[in-house]
């Protein structure tokens, strides 16, 4: 008989340094509003489409081949050596999908999951090792190139899929496979054993969650060992592999951005279990340095195509930004783990939650197309759209290296887990979205409270919470509501049962409503959502003299297709558009555009270069300014997450897009 699964995404319940706990996934139901459409597409489109692609590209066949299936005699491994990880990420996404889906529509998905788990189990070696690239004739090469071959990385994703399946469905079939592999790794590596760490962090965060699931401390100790060994030259001492310095000695993040995020998320997990002060100090220092000098205006991470890496402080090129979708997912993972620590002030917690929300809407979500089956690997903040063969950054239905598509679906499938947490004081509301939550407050034996959100967020800042406490809920409890940092002071209103709640309502913190809750209590929160202009630090030189546009939790951009007829400005480019940052745009709902969005409309000018620049790259500075060649234009901005989801504009602008806009002269 299957045990009743605890379905929390990250289980902080017994973590000594954490005083917040996520709600189990089935306890949060997003009904209507912005997010329901995304979750339905994942169930109905993304998971089936990715399963077909896993089959068509040989990723599933690799497991059958490794198991010696007579259906594929003599077959060779297909694809990249880390392709097993894509199957595991799909399984994790399917697990969270099963936790949220109604049983009947999920019947086919559940059958696919059972079959894939059987293929994986059949491919496992008798000693517990599992990697289909090293099956058969390559078996003697196992663990021979830890720097490049991703064996532990794949193992980490296997472990996370196994934990997800046990928590979502109660099935232990994949968990038996994962623990055997984890035990094999523990037999080979660790203190007093073979020295070595994986070139791509991932095993560490998985081992901590495996420890939380099984309470076997050897897994936590092995994760800590791998973190401690990094930075001591086991991978050649290169920053790309996060091996130049130990994590505790770094002043700012460097190297491969995705790997850095996974390592920091794992270190945050280890701190939650060990309370090691030096680890917390390092993580807080690195977080603050990243937020202050290394994060794109959309929350994207990783400035350089070379090495998919962080750049120097303030190195944030726009059209050449890398900002891999997986790095943004890693950033959300890290923020989520820092958020729960003890000894945080409400404002400190809100800082992590603000970053989590901003990255979610503006750095993660752009990675998946509105059709649910097209993707961005990298996320530039400008695209020339066809000039001189430049630009043309288009969504793809798949990649040979498919880490981003499978990572996006596993993350978005787990999204409801990020909305709420509980603590000894009560319920924390981190994100706003229409739906319901069933809350077990600490110490309770059953559901303590039901909360229903009604809102059009992120298009509208009005949020209504209807509270229904259980009959046996005794004493006062608090509900903490996040007041996002993008708000302006004075743009917040909070009522309880129609009467103003007396509190200092400041952006960038949580407001606490503490009371003995009664059935039918209603909290009305109104977050003002006027558009706002953003500017960047002067050292971010690419953005000098430019502004970006936001509203609520969303970053906006201009796409050429929305800007009308460009024939009046021959030779002009979208990057020639200029705006008056002293004027706020008009807000306009567009229910038929891009699945239903709110657009921002504003006057602007087109300011192409003076003809004197024709054929020149440089010139002497003229004594006076060039004559004004600007022309008036009405501009329409759309949410950045939704760009590149339509047919192109007329040539030569094609798919041109711009986030940072020139200020009018």
Predicted confidence (pLDDT) at residue 153 exceeds the cutoff of 60: yes
Q: How far apart, in whole angstroms, are the C-alpha atoms of residue 57 and residue 138?
A: 21
Predicted confidence (pLDDT) at residue 473 exceeds the cutoff of 90: no
Task: Find how far residue 174's CA is from the centre of its chain.
Answer: 25
Residues 49-103: tens digit of each pLDDT: 999 999 999 999 999 999 986 554 446 899 999 999 999 999 999 999 999 876 6
Predicted confidence (pLDDT) at residue 392 exceeds the cutoff of 80: no
Q: In the numeric block, which tokens belong to residue 600?
A: 């921002």
Q: How far apart, in whole angstroms, are the C-alpha atoms of residue 480 and residue 554?
A: 23
- 336 and 191, same structural domain? no
User: Residue 27 falls within a domain, yes or no?
Assistant: no
- Segments in 45-136 forming alpha helices (H): 47-56, 59-66, 84-100, 107-123
Q: Which of 204, 308, 357, 559 is catalytic?
A: 308
- Partners of 586 in the beta sheet? 601
- 370 and 322, same structural domain? yes
- 77 and 211, same structural domain? yes
Peptide bond into 74 cis (omega under 30): no
The whole-number pLDDT of residue 635 equals 94
Predicted confidence (pLDDT) at residue 253 exceeds the cutoff of 60: yes
DSSP state of 25: G
- 538 and 523, same structural domain? no
Rounded to an integer, the average pLDDT of 364-383 is: 96
Is 436:447 a contact under the CB 8 Å cutoff? Answer: no
User: Residue 67 falls within a domain, yes or no?
Assistant: yes
User: Residue 570 falls within a domain, yes or no?
Assistant: yes
Question: Please, what is the angle between helix 47-56 and helix 59-66, to 10°?
Answer: 60
Is 135:123 a contact under the CB 8 Å cutoff? Answer: yes
Residues 16-49: tens digit of each pLDDT: 999 999 999 999 999 989 999 999 999 999 999 9
Residues 175-209: tens digit of each pLDDT: 999 999 999 999 999 999 999 999 999 999 999 99
Predicted confidence (pLDDT) at residue 444 exceeds the cutoff of 60: no
CA distances from 17 to 122, 337, 340, 409, 654 (A): 39, 11, 8, 30, 52
Q: How far apart, in whole angstroms, are the C-alpha atoms of residue 359 and residue 329?
A: 8
The whole-number pLDDT of residue 653 equals 74
User: Residue 37 falls within a domain, yes or no?
Assistant: no
Q: In the numeric block, which tokens belong to residue 555?
A: 């970053």
Range of the domain at 157: 52-229
Rounded to an integer, the average pLDDT of 397-414 is: 96
Predicted confidence (pLDDT) at residue 105 exceeds the cutoff of 80: no
Predicted confidence (pLDDT) at residue 403 exceeds the cutoff of 70: yes
The whole-number pLDDT of residue 4 equals 44
Predicted confidence (pLDDT) at residue 660 exceeds the cutoff of 90: yes
- 248 and 208, same structural domain? no
The whole-number pLDDT of residue 387 equals 52
Rounded to an integer, the average pLDDT of 395-415 is: 96
Across 65-69, 276-280, 408-412, least confident range: 65-69
Is 429:420 a contact under the CB 8 Å cutoff? Answer: yes
- 330 and 298, same structural domain? yes
Domain boundary (229, 259, 289) is at 229
Name the nearest CA neighbour of 420 among 436, 405, 404.
436
- 329 and 204, same structural domain? no
Is 642:368 a contact under the CB 8 Å cutoff? Answer: no
User: Residue 2 falls within a domain, yes or no?
Assistant: no
Is 634:601 a contact under the CB 8 Å cutoff? Answer: yes
Q: How far apart, in whole angstroms, are the C-alpha atoms of residue 7 and residue 417?
A: 9
Measured in degrees and rounded to the nearest 5, phi and psi for residue 646 equal -135, 175
Task: Find how far residue 26's CA is from the centre of its chain.
Answer: 20
549 CB-side CA count, 13 A: 30
User: Residue 124 falls within a domain, yes or no?
Assistant: yes
Which pLDDT band, with edges at 50, 70 and 90, does 505 fall under? very high
User: Residue 402 falls within a domain, yes or no?
Assistant: no
- 160 and 125, same structural domain? yes
- 103 and 84, same structural domain? yes
Which pLDDT band, with edges at 50, 70 and 90, does 6 fall under? low
Is 349:337 a contact under the CB 8 Å cutoff? Answer: no
- 367 and 246, same structural domain? yes
Domain boundary (229, 246, 266) is at 229
What's the whole-number average pLDDT of the chain?
A: 93
Q: Which of 198, 326, 403, 557 is catalytic?
A: 403
Q: Is 383 helix (H, G, I), strand (E, B) or coil?
A: strand
Is 524:494 a contact under the CB 8 Å cutoff? Answer: yes
Rounded to an integer, the average pLDDT of 143-152 is: 98
Which pLDDT band, with edges at 50, 70 and 90, does 385 fall under? confident
- Return the percentage of the chain with pLDDT > 90, whole number: 82
Predicted confidence (pLDDT) at residue 643 exceeds the cutoff of 90: yes
Domain boundary (527, 552, 586) is at 527
Name every residue whose Cβ is closer than 8 Å to that of residue 444 and which is 6 or more positions away in sequence.
470, 473
- 597 and 521, same structural domain? no
Rounded to an integer, the average pLDDT of 398-425 is: 96
Catalytic site includes residue 308:
yes
User: Residue 413 falls within a domain, yes or no?
Assistant: no
Higher pLDDT, 617 or 625: 617
Choose from 25-34, 133-142, 452-461, 652-661 the range with maximum mean pLDDT: 452-461
Which pLDDT band, with edges at 50, 70 and 90, does 582 fall under? very high
- 553 and 431, same structural domain? no
The whole-number pLDDT of residue 565 equals 76
Measured in degrees and rounded to the nearest 5, phi and psi for residue 475 equal 85, 170
The whole-number pLDDT of residue 665 equals 76
Q: What would the DSSP string read from start to end of 127-140?
A: TS---GGGSGGGGG
Name the domain count of the chain.
4
Catalytic site includes residue 221:
no
Name the nearest CA neighbour of 25 among 85, 90, 101, 81.
101
């Amino acid at each position: 008989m299957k045990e009743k699964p605890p379905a929390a995404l990250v289980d902080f319940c017994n973590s000594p340094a954490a005083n917040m706990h996520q709600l189990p996934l089935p306890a949060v139901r997003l009904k209507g509003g912005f997010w329901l459409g995304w979750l339905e597409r994942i169930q109905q489109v993304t998971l089936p489409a990715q399963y077909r692609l896993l089959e068509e590209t040989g990723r599933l066949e690799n497991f059958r081949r490794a198991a010696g299936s007579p259906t594929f005699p003599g077959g060779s491994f297909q694809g990249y050596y880390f392709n097993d990880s894509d199957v595991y990420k799909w399984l994790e996404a399917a697990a969270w999908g099963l936790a949220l889906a109604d049983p009947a529509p999920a019947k086919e998905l559940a059958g696919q999951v059972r079959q894939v788990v059987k293929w994986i189990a059949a491919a496992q070696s008798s000693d517990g090792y599992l990697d289909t690239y090293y099956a058969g004739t390559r078996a003697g090469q196992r663990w021979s190139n830890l720097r490049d071959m991703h064996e532990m990385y794949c193992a980490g994703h296997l472990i996370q899929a196994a934990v997800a399946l046990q928590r979502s469905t109660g099935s232990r079939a994949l968990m038996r496979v994962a623990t055997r592999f984890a035990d094999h790794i523990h037999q080979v590596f660790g203190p007093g054993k073979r020295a070595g760490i994986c070139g791509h962090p991932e095993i560490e965060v998985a081992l901590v969650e495996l420890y939380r699931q099984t309470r076997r401390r050897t897994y936590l100790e092995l994760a800590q060992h791998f973190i401690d060994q990094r930075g001591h030259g086991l991978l050649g001492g290169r920053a790309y592999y996060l091996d130049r310095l130990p994590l505790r000695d770094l002043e700012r993040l460097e190297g491969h951005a995705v790997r850095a995020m996974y390592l920091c998320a794992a270190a945050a997990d280890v701190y939650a279990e060990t309370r090691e002060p030096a680890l917390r100090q390092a993580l807080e220092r690195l977080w603050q340095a990243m937020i202050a000098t290394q994060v794109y205006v959309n929350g994207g991470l990783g400035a350089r195509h070379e090495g998919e890496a962080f750049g120097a402080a303030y190195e944030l090129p726009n059209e050449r930004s890398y900002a891999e979708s997986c790095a943004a997912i890693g950033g959300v993972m890290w923020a989520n783990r820092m958020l729960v620590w003890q000894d945080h002030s409400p404002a400190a917690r809100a800082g992590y939650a603000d970053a989590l929300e901003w990255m979610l809407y503006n750095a993660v979500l752009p990675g998946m197309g509105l059709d649910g089956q097209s993707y961005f690997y990298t996320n530039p903040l400008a695209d020339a759209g066809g000039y001189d063969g430049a630009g043309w950054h288009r969504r793809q239905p798949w990649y040979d290296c498919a880490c981003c598509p499978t990572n996006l679906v596993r993350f978005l499938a787990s999204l409801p887990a990020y909305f709420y947490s509980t603590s000894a004081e009560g319920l924390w509301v981190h994100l706003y979205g229409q739906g319901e939550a069933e809350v077990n407050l600490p110490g309770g034996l059953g559901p303590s409270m039901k909360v229903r959100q009604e809102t059009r967020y992120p298009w509208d800042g009005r949020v209504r919470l209807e509270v229904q406490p259980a009959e046996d809920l005794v004493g006062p409890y608090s509900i903490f509501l996040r007041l996002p940092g993008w708000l302006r002071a004075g743009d917040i209103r909070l009522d309880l049962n129609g009467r103003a709640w007396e509190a200092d309502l400041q952006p960038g913190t949580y407001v606490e409503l503490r009371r003995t809750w009664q059935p039918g209590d209603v909290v009305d929160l109104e977050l003002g959502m006027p558009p706002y202009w953003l500017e960047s630090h002067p050292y971010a030189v690419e953005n000098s003299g430019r502004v970006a546009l936001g509203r609520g939790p969303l970053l906006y951009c201009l796409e050429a297709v929305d800007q009308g007829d460009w024939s009046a400005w021959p030779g002009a480019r979208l990057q020639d558009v200029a705006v008056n940052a002293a004027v706020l745009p008009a807000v306009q709902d567009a229910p038929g555009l891009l699945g239903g969005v709110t657009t921002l409309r504003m006057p602007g000018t087109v300011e192409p270069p003076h003809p004197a620049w024709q054929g020149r790259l440089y010139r002497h500075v003229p004594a006076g300014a060039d004559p004004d060649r600007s022309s008036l234009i009405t501009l329409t901005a759309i949410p950045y997450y939704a760009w590149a989801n339509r047919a192109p504009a007329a040539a030569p602008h094609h798919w041109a897009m711009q986030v940072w806009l020139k200020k009018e002269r």
